Every structure is written in structure tokens, then in C-alpha cells.
Amino acid sequence: MTQNILILPGDGIGPEIVAEATRLLNALKDRFGLAVELEEAPIGGAGYDAAGKPLPDETLALARAADAILLGAVGGPRYDQLAWELRPERGLLAIRSELALFSNLRPAILYPQLASASALKPEIVGGLDIMILRELTGGAYFGKPRGIQTREDGVREGFNTIIYSEPEIERIVRSGFEIAMKRDRRLCSVDKANVLEVSQLWREVAERVAKEYPEVALSHMYVDNAAMQLVRAPKQFDVIVTENMFGDILSDAAAMLTGSIGMLPSASLDAGGKGMYEPIHGSAPDIAGQGVANPLATLLSVAMMLRYTLNEEAQAARVEAAVGRVLDQGLRTADIWTEGCRKVGTREMGEAVVAALAD
Amino acid sequence: MTQNILILPGDGIGPEIVAEATRLLNALKDRFGLAVELEEAPIGGAGYDAAGKPLPDETLALARAADAILLGAVGGPRYDQLAWELRPERGLLAIRSELALFSNLRPAILYPQLASASALKPEIVGGLDIMILRELTGGAYFGKPRGIQTREDGVREGFNTIIYSEPEIERIVRSGFEIAMKRDRRLCSVDKANVLEVSQLWREVAERVAKEYPEVALSHMYVDNAAMQLVRAPKQFDVIVTENMFGDILSDAAAMLTGSIGMLPSASLDAGGKGMYEPIHGSAPDIAGQGVANPLATLLSVAMMLRYTLNEEAQAARVEAAVGRVLDQGLRTADIWTEGCRKVGTREMGEAVVAALAD
Ligand SMILES: [Mg+2]
Ligand SMILES: [Mg+2]
């Protein structure tokens, strides 16, 4: 059955990097029998330019109809003066919320060839391969009541609400168990249950869902300790699942452990496994149009799409192996270049990965 | 004018490590003219044993009367079965709240002699000396409303409130500026103002207070980026000030950057600068009574007390220099021992620091 992939190039370096993803998908189609159809639509600043808003109606309709979505990046200085609701970033938030993409997969992987880029010692971080699952549509970032108000005594106070319902917790925790089943079957749920009631409910639900996954070892860790353990011994983890704000902090810290943000893909999934895939780096307007951006995070986002939405594990592994081979060959874009390696541009890197695809 | 120091040994290794602090304070008194009087009282499990509760009334009265307080550590398996309100940790929370100790100073310092203990590369972390200021009595950990409730549709939800009033923000931010004035005059305020209203008020207040401290360079950083920057380049910071939960996560991560938790002191101050000082490590019941615990975090807590409450900067520097000399001599307790160094116990380490005090 042919599956439909919607490609959203976006802004800045977005068009350049997704062009390499398109090249890769077409190669998988032509040479390795992947049954997909590709379509393209504007989002972010490009959406505003095309249709007056960052998530054009037609783009949203195509996104609803697609089986999976690949996004480049959004945003740029040209759009900084727009009203809040017209900013490129709003297009991203809107598509996540319209499609109920609540499960944010943030792998932190350090290819051994790039181990020297990390601030951590190679023996601590080399070969790192962990997955952080961040709940993306609940918690303090969306919770109500919220605001700044003046109390009766005239004192102003700011407030936000960290809130999760049982079904919201259940679906993200379940997502964690499902992903752990595809990996090393160890799931660490991160909360602050010694202090926060919302975490106590979180932990209770995690324990209940765990009964359905006897093959997965569930553990719990407080968020402050998790931040310490990520620094001390990040390889101890397999899959971490946590709420929105904790996940925001921990997934960014974990990404930085690798020292090469330009290498990291991500996914945002709905309850049925449909998802939007994107590199975690931004639109990098300063280097847009120069052909020097690193396309590997986008190509690895394609690999995640093959694994988690299209259920094409062999194709996913094929892409990841090709990236490893290209790194072995010494090819590096400017952001990951070190002495003794060959500096290449976006297109040359993308073509090298396609050339390295093997049976 | 003689100042009164209340010593609270607490539980586990607490009595052993504060014994070395007492030795140090007496040496500063006898040999270097420090005008202090020492008194001792029970807290934690020891408080429960002596008076049936973790913060005995007499201990609290002495704490109110004292100019500064030195705490060892509280807690141990003997007390794990006690009711929630009788647990040793409650004594600590009670004294902080009774004395309004809202400003938690968490230095992350890596002595060059111990740089190899860090998970980070020596060039990234060697010589680290940053100060994280965590608000300790507000935010989500204390905010109301809070709880777990069943909605009208029968669905349970857990919720907590992140809340700060303008005066609460102002006093911790002011504390940050005061400490920055004693250091490199750079203050980084960490928030999530792009998403949370409570952070928007925080940032507004920080900007207003900044006008009173023109010598201090104020910057702002989002909490997820701060977590990344602490991993990538921790030495870029001088003083960080942030709210309770963010401070909990970031201060623990920063402590772990050093790789030697047994070396790190802390302080909790009130608005007037009165404070309680304590090592960040716990009561370590597994090694209690064996004379092997590392007393250096407690001795460095004494140095903080001299600097931040007793205004004895020269005495503080004297203690810190003595600790540096003892490390230079190759003396190490078991927790920081490496090949080629001499392993010593709690008392020998304390005596060596006292012997290394110089004019
Ligand atoms: Mg983030
Ligand atoms: Mg903590």
C-alpha cells in the first residue's frame, strides 16, 4: 500500500535540507521498493508569503490527509515584525495541536565518529543512544488558569498551572512503553512525585499501564536526579518518558550531551502513530541559501519516519547505516567538521548518503 | 562583636563532619581572632529522638536567636517508618520556612586538583566557579491550588500552581544582584518567559531591580537553553538566579558537572543575610560512624558562612585556601580518592585543613 508523505520545507535552510530528504526518499522508492508518494506545501514564513498565514488551510488539509509529514524548519528575521498569531512558529504549534501530536520523540545519539564534539569525555558519552519522550500538548505550557493578576492587597502575582488528566498521562506513558518495546525494553518515567500532586497521579498511571507491558522494566526518577544522571552517566538510560516542561529541559540537555545538534532528528506522534518528523536545529537564516547546512538530521528524521510511522524498520536501518558509512568516509559539513576530515556542502552530503545506501 | 553560630549535627555522618567544622571554627577563633560562640542542638532524626519531633521547639528558638546556623545532614533508615510530619526531612523544611530562608546559594566549583572526576572534559569544566541562586520557598513546590481531583465528567486530573508575587521575585532577584556584586558582576536570570506568564512577571521585575545595580550585567536565558549551556560551556556563567523548580533541576545538574558532590557547600539566606549553611550531600547512613566521610563540603560551608553572613571575607578566603593546599598535598577521602593520592579519614582531613590555615 502506497503511503503519502507531506513535505513542508519551511524557511531558512529548510528548503535546502528537505531537498536532500526528497532525494533520499526517491532513491528508496526507485532502488529499494519503498511505496510512497511525496507532496509539498508551504508552512511558517513561507505559508505567510503564500497564503497570509503560517499554517495555510490547504497545508493543514494536506497534513490531515497525509500518512506522515516531514518538516524542515520555520522562522527568520523577515517575519520577526509580524503580529504574534502570524509568526512562523505559530504554524508549527498550530499543526501540532490540530493533529494532536502529543508524543515528542527526542533521540540523543552520538555517532562514534563525532564523539570528540561532545563536552563530555568520550568514555562517558561515546555510543550514546537514548530516547527522550516528551509530552507535547499538556502541562504548564498549556494549563489554565494562567496570567498576571493584582491581588486584593494590591500586590501583583504571576501564575501558571501544571495540569494533566489521567487519559493525557496514559497515552504518553503508553507511547513510552511502545517505543521501549522497539528498543532495549527499559523505560524510566521522570517526575517530581515527592513534591507535586500532578506527578503523583503521573506515577500512579505509569504503574497501572506498566501491567500491560510485562516485558518492559519500568523505573521512576525525580527530575532533579535525572538532570544529574544525564550529566554523570547518560548511557544508563534506554527510554525516558516525562511531562512537557521537564521534557523540554531534559531533551535539550540530552541533545547537547552529543555536542552536535546538527545531527539530531525528532518526531511528534499522535495516538495512532501518525507523525511529523523534523530536525531539532532551527532554520539558521544566517547560512540559508549557501548550500552549507547539514542535512543529516533531516535524513535521520526520514529514518525515524520509516521506523515509527511507516513501519519500515529495514529501510530505517538502511538510512542510518548509510549515514554511518558517510561519516566513516570522513565527509563532514561545516558544523561538524574537524581537522583531517573533508568539508562538504548540503548537496554533496545528501548525495553521499544516497550513494551509500546498501541492500 | 561576638556572633553566635548554632551547630545542628543531625543524623548519619552529620555529627562526624560537623565535628571537623567545630574544630575549624575553634582554630579560627584561637589563632586568627574570629569572634564567634558555638552552640549545638538536635535536628532531624536526632531531634525526634531527643524531643519527639524533627525540629524541637528549643532548637527552633536557638536558631531564631543565632546569627548563623551550620547543619550536617538529616535522615536515615531508622526513621523511614515515621509518619510524614515526623520524618527528619520535615525538620529541614520547617526550619527553612520558620526562618524565611528563601535564597538558596548553590555554588558549583571544581578544584583543579579534582578535575578528572568530572564527566566533562577538563578543558570544558576545569576551574569551574559558578553560583546558582535558587528561590526556595515559592513556585510550584508550595503553590496553591494543588491536588488530585475528579472532574464532572469523571476523569481524574492532577494539578499544581507555579505562582510568584512581585515581592517574592524582587527579594530573590535582589539577592542575586548582591551576590553578583561580591563576584564577577554578571547575573543571568533563567526563566521560560516565552511561554509562562509567571516568567514574564519574573523578567519584568528583574529588569526593574537591575536599574539599582548598574555595575552588574544582567542577562536572561530560557531554562531549556540554560540546561544546554551548562552542559556545553558551564564556565560562561558567573551567577544564575532562578525560581524554585528550575533552580532545583539546574543546581543539581551544575553540581554533578563537578563530579564531586562531596565537595559542595550551600547556603539558605533570609532577607537580612542570616543563613543556614550545609553540605549538599546527604546523611550517608551506609558509612555513618566509620570516620571515612568527606568533611570538605562542610568546611567549605563554614567558608560560605564567613563570607555571606558573618562578613569575614578574609577568614573565608583563608579556609578555601587551606582546602586547596590540602588537596595539593594529595590528601583525599575515599569518595574523591584517585591513584597516587593518600587516602585519609574524616578527622585526618579536618586536622589537615586546620594545619594548613595561614595568615
Ligand atoms: Mg526546548
Ligand atoms: Mg534537588
Residue in A with minimal Cα distance to B256: A228
Q: Give the cell for residue A292.
A: 552549507
According to DSSP, residue A120 is labeled: B
pLDDT at residue B84 in the model? 84
- Give the pLDDT band of residue B81 (cuts 50, 70, 90): very high
Smallest Cα distance from B207 to chain A, Å: 16
Ligand 2 mean position to B358 CA, how many Å?
35
Q: Supply the pTM of this predicted model.
A: 0.94
Reference A26, options A286, A302, A233, A221; nearest CA is: A302
Picking from A120, A146, A223, the nearest residue to B119 by CB comes out as A120
Average pLDDT over residues A332-347: 96
Please say whether the beta carbons of B6 and B69 come within 8 A.
yes
For residue A194, the SS3 value is coil
Q: What is the ipTM of this complex?
A: 0.94
Residue of A152, A168, A252, A335 to mutate when probing chain B, most B C-beta within 10 A: A252
Residue A322 has pLDDT above 90, yes or no: yes
Residue A84 has pLDDT above 90, yes or no: no
Average pLDDT over residues B3-24: 98
Query: Catalytic annotation on B49?
Result: no
Residue of B191, B256, B281, B335 to mutate when probing chain A, most A C-beta within 10 A: B256
Please write the tens of the pLDDT for every residue from B204-249.
999 999 999 999 999 999 999 999 999 999 999 999 999 999 999 9
CB–CB of B163 and A159 under 8 A? Answer: yes
Residue A14, phi then psi, degrees to nearest 5: -45, -55
Query: Catalytic annotation on B11?
Result: no
Picking from A140, A165, A246, the nearest residue to B162 by CB comes out as A140
Ligand 1 mean position to A141 CA, how many Å?
12
pLDDT at residue B134 in the model? 98
Instruction: Identify which ligand lies nearest to the alpha carbon of A192.
Output: 2
CB–CB of A155 and B161 under 8 A? Answer: no
Which candidate in A11, A192, A274, A308 is catalytic?
Answer: A192
Query: Catalytic annotation on B80?
Result: no
Picking from B158, B232, B257, the nearest residue to A198 by CB comes out as B158
Picking from A121, A124, A162, the nearest residue to B159 by CB comes out as A162
Picking from B161, B223, B250, the nearest residue to A159 by CB comes out as B161
Smallest Cα distance from A139 to chain B, Å: 9
Smallest Cα distance from A175 to chain B, Å: 19
Residue of B155, B159, B244 to mutate when probing chain A, most A C-beta within 10 A: B159
According to DSSP, residue B120 is labeled: B
pLDDT at residue A326 in the model? 98
In whole angstroms, give the CA distance from residue A95 to residue A270: 12
Long-range contacts of A317-324 (CB under 8 A, 24+ apart): A318/A28, A318/A32, A318/A357, A318/A358, A319/A24, A319/A28, A319/A353, A319/A357, A321/A356, A321/A358, A322/A353, A322/A354, A322/A356, A322/A357, A322/A358, A323/A111, A323/A296, A323/A299, A323/A353, A323/A356, A324/A111, A324/A113
Mean per-residue pLDDT of chain B? 96
Please write the tens of the pLDDT for every residue from A155-183.
999 999 999 999 999 999 999 999 999 89
CB–CB of A201 and B164 under 8 A? Answer: no
Ligand 1 mean position to A252 CA, how many Å?
6
Query: What residue spans of B197-285 are helical by DSSP H?
Result: 197-210, 223-232, 244-258
Residue A298 has pLDDT above 90, yes or no: yes
pLDDT at residue B359 in the model? 84
Smallest Cα distance from B24 to chain A, Å: 31
Q: Give the cell for residue B34.
A: 574570629
- Ramachandran assignment for A289, one of left (phi > 0), alpha (psi -120 to 50 degrees), beta (any other): left
Residue of B204, B231, B257 to mutate when probing chain A, most A C-beta within 10 A: B231
Query: Catalytic annotation on B248?
Result: yes
Ligand 1 mean position to A11 CA, how many Å?
19
- Give the pLDDT band of residue B96 (cuts 50, 70, 90): very high
Q: Give the cell for residue A246.
A: 521537564
For residue A136, the SS3 value is coil
- Give the pLDDT band of residue A1 (cuts 50, 70, 90): confident
Fold of A1-106+263-359: Isopropylmalate Dehydrogenase (3.40.718)
Please say whether the beta carbons of B70 and B21 come within 8 A.
yes
Which candidate in B192, B213, B238, B277 is catalytic?
Answer: B192
Least confident of A186-190, B82-86, B190-194: B82-86
Q: Give the cell for residue B49.
A: 529522638
Cα of A32 vs its chain's centroid, Å: 26
Please say whether the beta carbons of A158 and B201 come within 8 A.
yes
pLDDT at residue B1 in the model? 83
Residues ≥6 apart with Cβ < 8 Å to B81: none
Please write the tens of the pLDDT for every residue from A118-130.
999 999 999 999 9
- Pairing label, strands A239-242, A129-135: parallel
Instruction: Identify which ligand lies nearest to the alpha carbon of A106.
Output: 1
Smallest Cα distance from A189 to chain B, Å: 16
Measured between beta carbons, the chain B residues lying within 8 angstroms of A199 are 158
Query: Catalytic annotation on B141?
Result: yes
What superfamily in CATH does domain B119-258 come from? Isopropylmalate Dehydrogenase (3.40.718.10)
According to DSSP, residue A234 is labeled: G
Please write the tens of the pLDDT for every residue from B108-148.
999 989 988 999 999 999 999 999 999 999 999 999 999 99
Parse chain B into domains and list their residue ranges.
Answer: 1-106+263-359, 119-258
Please write the tens of the pLDDT for every residue from B239-291.
999 999 999 999 999 999 999 899 999 999 999 999 999 999 999 999 999 99
Same fold flag, A1-106+263-359 and A119-258: yes
Reference B275, options B241, B309, B313, B312; nearest CA is: B309
Please write the tens of the pLDDT for every residue from A238-249.
999 999 999 999
Residue B265, burial from CB neighbour count under 10 angstroms (0-12, 13-18, 19+): buried
